Amino acid sequence: MHALADDRNISPAGLQIREPGLVEYEPTWHAMREFSSMRDAQSADEIWYLQHPPVYTLGLNGKPEHILDAGTIPVVNVDRGGQVTYHGPGQLVVYLLLDLQRRNLGVKQFVALIEQVLIDTLAEYAIAGERKAGAPGIYVANSKIAALGLRIRRGCSYHGLALNINMDLAPFTRINPCGHADMRVTQIADLCPDKPSLADVQTRLHRHLLRQLGYNKR
């Protein structure tokens, strides 16, 4: 896993940015768990930007019946909150390995912060993202465009968010996304005529995330 190129985003002091590219889900998940188990009060926070090959992940309290037909796509039972979701190329996944106690962030406050980052990022493309009561994530006209799933261990977070940018949405039809049978899914490419690249979306989201976390007050 290598650091994000310096000519795109400078990592502030006390924060490590990593961009491994397209990587398998399970080894990445194990790396997150290992990092979170070994970190201490002096460990720098990390943010990982990446994509995954096709995979369904089922949260701690996830119900297998929400996976209607996995077909050849692997299913991984994981230790985040939430139900089932899909990851695939063209979706920006951001893992947030942060010491929430050090930042004086409660879980609800942290979820609201992530959602605001997504709303602000989408607004740059004239897309009106919205929260939905009782259903974490961001929605556009009742279609889900971004999912959230977190695990908090010893006051530190891992897992994070997934934002649909320009991907094959068909695998979402083979699950009940986030446990909702009638949940529709959308993506930036279907809502923005310019079809921005994943790199462009990542750069904008990163700027909003740094600001919300207090690294960039502008």
pLDDT (tens, 9 = 90+) of the chain, 218 residues, equals: 433 333 334 457 689 999 999 999 999 999 999 999 999 989 999 999 999 999 999 988 888 999 999 999 999 999 998 889 999 999 999 999 999 999 999 999 999 999 999 999 999 999 999 999 888 899 999 999 999 999 999 999 999 999 999 999 999 999 988 777 888 999 999 999 999 999 999 999 999 999 999 987 54
Give the pLDDT confidence score for residue 217 in this predicted structure.
52
User: Do residues 194 and 149 lie in contact, with contact meaning Cβ atoms separated by under 8 Å?
Assistant: no
Give the pLDDT confidence score for residue 179 in this predicted structure.
77
Domain membership of residue 135 (yes or no) is yes
What total of structural domains would you count in the chain? 1
Q: Which residues are catalytic?
A: 178
Which domain covers residue 170, as residue numbers? 15-213
Provide the whole-model pTM: 0.92
Give the pLDDT confidence score for residue 152 in this predicted structure.
95
At 173, give phi and psi (nearest 5°): -75, -10
Give the pLDDT confidence score for residue 133 in this predicted structure.
86
Domain membership of residue 148 (yes or no) is yes
Give the pLDDT confidence score for residue 136 in this predicted structure.
86
Domain membership of residue 134 (yes or no) is yes
C-alpha span between 171 and 177 (Å, rounded): 10
Torsion (CA) 135, 139, 141, 143 in degrees, nearest 10? -80
Region of 199 (left: φ > 0; alpha: ψ -120 to 50; beta: rest) is: alpha
Give the pLDDT confidence score for residue 23 in this predicted structure.
98
Domain membership of residue 156 (yes or no) is yes
Read off the CATH number of the domain in which 164 is found: 3.30.930.10
Q: Collapsing DSSP states into helix, strand and coil, what is residue 132?
A: coil
Domain membership of residue 218 (yes or no) is no
